[in-house]
Amino acid sequence: MKIGIIADLHIDRTKTEYTIEDFKRVLACEMLARNLDLLLIAGDISNDCQVTSEFVWSLMTATNIDVRFVPGNHDYWQPENMTSSQVYQFYKDHPQSLVESPLVLNDDWAIVGHSGWYDYSYADPRFPLEKLASGKFYGGTWQDKVRIDWPVGDSELSRTFAKTVQKDLETVKGLNTILMTHVVTHHKFVVPTPHRLFDFYNAYIGTSDFDSFYKDYPIRYSIMGHVHFRHRLEADGIQYVCPCLGYQREWRTNDLATEVRNTLEVIEI
């Protein structure tokens, strides 16, 4: 089975002539060229849950290939007249979302997926909790603070989401597992420090609440996004992969097809 993995498409954030239709066409062509059986998207498809949903369905229609995803923080940015809790429920109910819906692939493999959330543990310890909770640094504001209205704080939300993931992991405990989150779950994937900005903003990159899962469950692959660089690491028999397309200003070329081709990775099981 050939499983494609990619993250952080940000189909509605391009600054040039590329449209959402272009993203669909290019990614669909690459999916077919790789002869995929399944595509996994590790969050941040768009800034609107309806756009994210429509994009997933359009990819499946264009390719006849199954697509599963987890929402990223941008996918939770609130459309008009919806709370963040309602957006979460929208993704929980979505047939292609992995949120609270583990996917058993065969007798040996399963996929568990969730957005996860950040718990501030990746920030430089010199910053007090109150400062991190504000999201404000050097005149800038972490945009989740103004675009998402979770009913609890970030650290509590991270713990809650981790408990949800643990419940899902228990349901597939005897199977080799692909774990897919949006936020980073390994400290090696933070923006390297010291860094003038990310000493602070690494607070919103990842969580430590998943650390024990890698010891307690047969996780073979950990797919992540959010940090907007592409990196792979093997540690303790686990393959950690961050296949982020990212914003166009972060691309190595100006060509969408080239960037998608270079970003998309394939797992064969």
Per-residue pLDDT of 206-222, as tens digits, reads 999 999 999 999 999 99
pLDDT at 78 (0 to 100): 83
pLDDT at 113 (0 to 100): 98
Considering only the C-alpha atoms of the chain, give the largest distance between any 2 of them, rounded to a whole number of Å. Answer: 52
Q: What is the mean pLDDT of residues 3-25?
A: 92
What is the percent of the chain with per-residue pLDDT over 70, rounded to a whole number? Answer: 100
Residue 224 has pLDDT above 80, yes or no: yes
Residue 15 has pLDDT above 90, yes or no: no
What is the percent of the chain with per-residue pLDDT over 90, rounded to a whole number? Answer: 97
User: Among all chains, which residue has been given the structure tokens 């073979």?
Assistant: 220
Per-residue pLDDT of 50-83, as tens digits, reads 999 999 999 999 999 999 999 999 999 988 889 9
Residue 228 has pLDDT above 80, yes or no: yes
Question: Residue 183: phi, psi to the nearest 5?
Answer: -70, 160
Per-residue pLDDT of 165-186, as tens digits, reads 999 999 999 999 999 999 999 9
Q: In what order do the strands lie in the sheet with 238-242?
A: 103-104, 109-114, 176-181, 219-223, 238-242, 231-235
Q: What is the mean pLDDT of residues 92-106?
A: 98
Count of Cβ atoms closer than 10 Å to residue 100 Cβ: 17
**Would you say the pTM of this structure is higher than 0.95?**
yes
Where does residue 223 fall: left (phi above 0), alpha (psi -120 to 50 degrees), or beta otherwise?
beta
Residue 151 has pLDDT above 80, yes or no: yes
Helical (H) or strand (E) element with 198: helix 198-201
Contact 174, 106 (CB under 8 A): no
* Superfamily of chain region 2-268: Metallo-dependent phosphatases (3.60.21.10)
**Rounded to the nearest 5 degrees, what angle is found at the Cα of 245, between the Cα atoms of 225 and 79?**
70
Strand positions, DSSP E, 19-168: 38-41, 66-69, 103-104, 109-114, 136-137, 140-141
Residue 16 has pLDDT above 90, yes or no: no
Q: Please, which pLDDT band fits residue 205 given cuts at 50, 70 and 90?
A: very high
pLDDT at 150 (0 to 100): 96
Contact 124, 202 (CB under 8 A): yes
- Residues 39, 98: Cα–Cα separation, whole Å: 12
Q: Tokens in use for 259?
A: 């960037």
Which residues neighbour 137 within 8 Å (Cβ) at sequence distance 6 or greater? 131, 197, 200, 201
Q: What is the mean pLDDT of residues 106-120?
A: 98
9: closest CA among 260, 177, 268? 260
pLDDT at 84 (0 to 100): 95
Residue 17 has pLDDT above 90, yes or no: no
pLDDT at 13 (0 to 100): 84
Mean model confidence pLDDT for the chain: 96
Q: What is the mean pLDDT of residues 229-237?
A: 95
Helical (H) or strand (E) element with 241: strand 238-242
